[in-house]
Amino acid sequence: MSDRQLTIAIDAMGGEQSPYKTLKGSEIFLQNNQQVNLIFFGNEHNIKDVIRAHKLKLSNYDIVNCTENVSDEDKPNTILRSRKESSIYKGLTYVRDNPGSGFISAGNTAALMILSRLILGMINGIDRPAICSDIPNKKSFSLMLDLGANVQVEPSNLFQFALMGYSYFSIIDPNRVPKIGIINIGTENNKGLEFLQEAHDLISDSFLKNNFVGFVEPNKITAGECDILLSDGFTGNIILKTAEGLSEFITSNLKDIFKKSFKNNLAFKLLENDLKVFKDQINPEKYNGATLIGLNGISIKSHGSASPFAFNCAIKKCFDFIDNDLNQQIINNFKNL
């Protein structure tokens, strides 16, 4: 970890319950990271009102007033032509002009992808960025991409995702030789859509062939048998949101079971520490914050419905990316592949 002061640009207006959610999440983050400088992009009057009304304890921050906002209904043409005064546009422009900074938004995913690509630019050789995040498994964690940036992809895009995932993984876990797999409805080579089979052939014919395990069924994602999981953004996003829903279903039902009787409550007391570890392992809030990998800059996507605690986790991820210069390492690794 470096001693240099780092700056994180935050879209204060994006997502549900903002700007309160983003500001409260920032307060939680700053409790243990007071050396970090935050810049909030959004409606200055609204931001100040929320800080004052909720008596938020924020330090080392600035506000950049933005007169426009990107809505979930905005189409790509509107985003490109008419949102230059928005919090996403201004925040990304700041990151482009200030190396060593990063940007976080819980707002419109399409807008974040389009404007990140436009303003920050792409790594040479990469056509599209992919939303990439770590997901828990029985052994440790896996990287999964794409989680929603690209609804439709070409076989070449999946091959590029494999290259980026491999490059990223070699930095964050250099002691593990990663296994790469494509999420599909079956493991047989003739299963699934044509673009998946073509992507399978591209990876099999590349230098990644010794790392490639082929197709992986969704029920094996948490088994820890594969370290880098590839999919189109539509499939990846559905898997992610289904997993989050199941996690909430399991934990809430366990809570109800242990409240049913005195005997069950006693059992809870005996298992309390183990249950806390289990809940933490599958808690989706802990994993909030996914990087748009493939860019010439740091752009992090938070869930739109993230809680303040979850948004704080996204800020932590952005901080780690900047502090360890991970994006430049990914770029350098990719160039050397």
From the number of C-beta atoms within 10 Å of its C-beta (0-12, 13-18, 19+), residue 80 rates as middle
Q: What is the pLDDT of residue 180?
A: 96
Give which of 8, 245, 293 is closest to 133, Cα–Cα.
Answer: 293
Residue 229, CB-side half-sphere exposure with 13 Å CA sphere: 29
Q: What is the pLDDT of residue 287?
A: 81
Q: What are phi and psi of 189, to 5 degrees?
A: -65, -20
The helix/strand/coil state of 275 is helix
Asked if residues 178 and 228 have their Cβ atoms less than 8 Å apart, the reply is: yes
Q: Which residues of the chain have pLDDT under 70?
A: 1-4, 275, 277-284
**What's the pTM value of the predicted model, to 2 decimals?**
0.85
- The structural domains of the chain, ordered by start, are 1-126+294-337 (3.40.718.10), 131-283 (3.40.718.10)
Asked if residues 126 and 141 have their Cβ atoms less than 8 Å apart, the reply is: no
